[in-house]
Amino acid sequence: MLKQVQHDEIKYMKTRKYFCPGRVCLIGEHLDYNGGFVMPAAISLGIHANVKSRNDNKIVCSSAQFSHIVEIDLSQPIEHETQAGWGNYVKGVVKYLQGAGLIIPALEIEFSADLPSGAGLSSSAALEVLVAYILQNEAGIENIDRIKTALLCKEVENDFIGVKCGIMDQFSVATGKKEHAVILNCETLEHEFVPVNTGDYGFIIINTNKRRELAGSKFNERKSECETALKFIQKHKTIKSLGEATKEDILNFIEDATAQKRALHVFEENQRVQLAGGCLKKGDLLQFGLLMNASHQSLKNLYEVTGIELDTIAETAITISGCIGARMTGAGFGGCGIALVKKSEMNLFKEKLNEIYTAQIGYPLSFYEFEISDGVGEKH
């Protein structure tokens, strides 16, 4: 008994360290909320947290990136407040875990990130999943259910924050596996981890550095256009999600031109993810690269979520020696692109792309080389 108390006290005083990765989607964009297949991977850029116990009834958070302190009184009702900014992600997770019956311990959490925020690499999902994992682990939950954690965080994003995203981001940062991408069926959550062996080639993330102010509202607009498309088809046959529609359904039943374009993207991108999975398993990187290019064109012309900055990246990248595929990644409307480039030509590639982008757009790019990492966890 005495030993147990001493052990707890030591734990109570020590700082515990946690990490949650961001994610990059290799292919399969805007399919998760349509019940399709996606292929993301967790990345070595992410959010770190130092956690200490408190002896009151509060969660107090600070961040190396943002100045204001977030203080949550665990005995009071928790509400969304616009001025709380990033603190709303923490509040939402605390509230929803309390709702699920977890007794939340009082903690002091210091965050620091090497993941750019708001750049389409899932900084918000990383923060949600990190907080959800910390709170459960600190509350003594063993074998934390990563998929349930991802689902709870998605609900926070959908209902507390108000972005009607799918499950891809939370799922990938919660369950990620080192050196593997995951092929996830977003309707059933069945998934397969596939090793990413790119040999002489490497993926590189390219940040447009464009501010993404309208991303949330444009995102919700695309989601509702897809719901319109689904309703047209459901007048003629029973399907649960747009991901189940055939090309004929889309061409014959959708009476609205915009909704039809969105649905065609969903259909074709879904096929590309499955083909890309085969390419990754066979090591056919050239074909994988062509699928990335086709994905970008579809997101530009049918889904209309790219914009001049992402188009300049993707369309310029593939004209530069060593690059075999490039596309936007994440929600779009700014944010990041991803390219597959021969390692020996990477430095020259970055230099040339940056030069052309800066001349056309007026400000430079940022590049992130990364490894594919494990999902959220405590660091020992």
Q: Which residues make up the interface to ligand GLA (CB under 6 A)?
A: 25, 29-30, 32-33, 165-166, 168-169, 330-331
| Dist. CA 11–CA 8, nearest whole Å | 5
Question: Minimal distance in Å, beta carbon 9 to ligand GLA?
Answer: 41
Q: Rounded to 5 degrees, what are φ and ψ at 379?
A: -100, 130
Contact assessment for residue 243 and residue 167, using Cβ atoms and an 8 Å cutoff: no
User: What Å distances lie between residue 8 and 56, 80, 107, 142, CA to CA?
Assistant: 17, 34, 15, 16
Please say which residue, 32 or 155, places its beta carbon nearer to ligand GLA.
32
| Shortest Å, Cβ 273 to ligand GLA | 11
Tell me how far, at minimum, the Cβ of 166 lies from ligand GLA, in Å. 4
Of the pair 26, 165, the CB lying nearest ligand GLA is at 165
Nearer to ligand GLA, 25 or 290 (CB): 25
Q: How far is the CB of 244 from ligand GLA (least distance, A)?
A: 18
Burial of 344 per CB tally in 10 Å (0-12, 13-18, 19+): exposed
Query: Residue 41: which residues within 8 A CB-CB, separation 6 or more?
Result: 23, 24, 26, 172, 176, 180, 181, 182, 196, 372
**Whole-number minimum distance, CB 335 to ligand GLA, in Å?**
8
The catalytically annotated residue of 169, 249, 284, 311 is 169
CA 113 to the chain's CA centroid: 15
Handedness of CA 235, 236, 237, 241 (dihedral sign): negative
Q: Which residue is nearest to ligand GLA (CB)?
A: 165
Q: Which residues pair with 58 in a beta bridge?
A: 73
**Smallest distance from the beta carbon of 175 to ligand GLA, in angstroms?**
15
| 165 vs 233, beta carbon nearer ligand GLA | 165
Cα(379)–Cα(48) distance, integer angstroms = 10
Q: What is the dihedral of CA 268, 270, 275, 279, to 10 degrees?
A: 120
CB-wise, 138 or 225, nearer to ligand GLA?
225
Half-sphere exposure of 187 (CA within 13 A, CB side): 11
Instruction: Look up 32 and say whether it is catalytic.
Output: no
Complex with ligand GLA: residue 36 or 377, whichever CB lies closer = 36
The residues, ordered by sequence, that sit 6+ positions from 126 with a Cβ below 8 Å of its Cβ are 20, 21, 22, 23, 46, 47, 113, 115, 173, 376
The residues annotated as belonging to the active site are 169
